[in-house]
Amino acid sequence: MKAVQILMEEHQNILRMLKVIRTLSLHIFNTKEVYNEGFYQIIDFIKNYADKFHHGKEEDILFEKMSTELGPAIKNGPIFGMLSEHDLGRLFANNLQEALKNLENGEEEAKMDIIVNAIAYADLLERHIFKEDTAIFTFAEKQLKNETHEEINKLFHETEITLDAIYTEKKYIGILEELEEYCKTL
């Protein structure tokens, strides 16, 4: 299914950003210096690329179609688990943003909250992506009807137009590459 391939390719970009998160978190741990601008770029990437652009397609299209076609056992089991992890990731991202604001307001211990929430997000998403790539997506490819695959692909195409996929990919891969280059200097 083309849609699943798109999601898996986006996962690779998200995994690259998780490495950046770990590198910048380790930098805080070792030096007590926070690259605020970099963390704000990470939050932008998380909220607009990983969540709105990527998770939006998963939640609103793939998971919805899987739940409808494959029934309550899928909807209330694996899909519910994936949605819960999406929500937990949003919590960590919001906490990270709040910690950055607290640091800007002079709260030195906010550095600890930055590290904790950044690493919690990275760990959660690494495990989450593994489960989706190796279980959820594989299951969808094998179990969904051909007509459903075609409908999902059509909906993905429409969503990519709505979300201006070319611009979104260019913008957020650019941010990712910039942060990767910065991390090489640490």
Q: Number of H helices and number of E strands within the chain? A: 10, 0
The alpha-carbon radius of gyration of the chain (Å, integer) is 18
Domain over 2-184 is classified CATH 1.20.1580.10: no
Distance, CA of 70 to CA of 48 (rounded, Å): 29
Domain ranges of the chain: 2-184
Look at the block and give the residue holding tokens 């990270």.
96
The confidence score (pLDDT) of residue 1 equals 57
Instruction: Output the pTM of the full model.
Output: 0.96
pLDDT (tens digit, 0 to 9) for every residue of the chain, 186 residues total? 599 999 999 999 999 999 999 999 999 999 999 999 999 999 999 999 999 999 999 999 999 999 999 999 999 999 999 999 999 999 999 999 999 999 999 999 999 999 999 999 999 999 999 999 999 999 999 999 999 999 999 999 999 999 999 999 999 999 999 999 999 999
The confidence score (pLDDT) of residue 18 equals 98
Among candidate residues 116, 85, 125, the one with its CA nearest the CA of residue 98: 116
CB 111 within 8 A of CB 28: yes
Name the region of 32 (left: φ>0; alpha: ψ -120 to 50; beta: rest): left
The confidence score (pLDDT) of residue 9 equals 97
Distance, CA of 103 to CA of 116 (rounded, Å): 14
